């Protein structure tokens, strides 16, 4: 059985984090939308504390990430947002994604959050099944909105 480790991300993980973010963007058919780089990630994580992240490692190789940050709900109070959850294809089916998600839930609980929110693409049927198997509610009545600030 292949063993993996879930741990808090560290500065040395920023290059792997960037690589997996790009892989996720490629999978989501939007590689051109990635405008960050390692320098921006490091600044926003270390100096601005804009996000935190967990990594999954197999044999000292980062194979999965969970990137998350706090947000606030006027209805529910403190909650967390899961920006990215990604496991490389060769590490799937071993429980890595589930372990990353559950570890993210634990981080949110430790911070006093009562809810974890995220998005999933409607065509990503595998992810939808995965999230539902863990008890997630997939909302259909709310639409996502974006306003690009330049």
pLDDT band of 87, cuts 50, 70, 90: very high
CA distance 45 to 11: 9
Q: Which domains does the chain have, with CATH numbers?
A: 5-133 (3.40.630.30)
pLDDT band of 36, cuts 50, 70, 90: very high
Give me the mean pLDDT over the 35-39 stretch.
98
pLDDT band of 148, cuts 50, 70, 90: confident
Among 4, 68, 80, 131, which one carries the catalytic annotation? Answer: 131
The per-residue pLDDT for 144 is: 86
The per-residue pLDDT for 105 is: 98
Is 131 a catalytic site residue? yes
The per-residue pLDDT for 2 is: 85
- DSSP code per residue over 71-135: EEETTTEEEEEEEEEEE-GGGTTSSHHHHHHHHHHHHHHHTT-S-EE----TT-HHHHHHHHHTT
């Amino acid at each position: 059985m292949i063993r993996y480790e879930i741990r808090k991300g560290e500065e040395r993980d920023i290059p792997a984090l960037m690589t997996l973010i790009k892989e996720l963007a490629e999978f989501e058919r939007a590689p051109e939308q990635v405008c960050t780089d390692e320098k921006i990630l490091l600044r926003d994580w270390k100096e601005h504390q804009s996000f935190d992240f967990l990594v999954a490692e197999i044999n000292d190789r980062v194979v999965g990430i969970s990137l998350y940050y706090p947000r606030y709900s006027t209805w529910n109070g403190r909650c967390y947002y899961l920006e990215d959850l990604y496991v490389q294809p060769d590490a799937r089916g071993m429980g890595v994604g589930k372990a990353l998600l559950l570890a993210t839930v634990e981080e949110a609980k430790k911070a006093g959050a009562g809810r974890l929110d995220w998005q999933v693409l409607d065509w990503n049927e595998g992810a939808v099944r995965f999230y539902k198997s863990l008890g997630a509610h997939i909302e259909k009545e709310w639409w996502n909105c974006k306003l690009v600030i330049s």
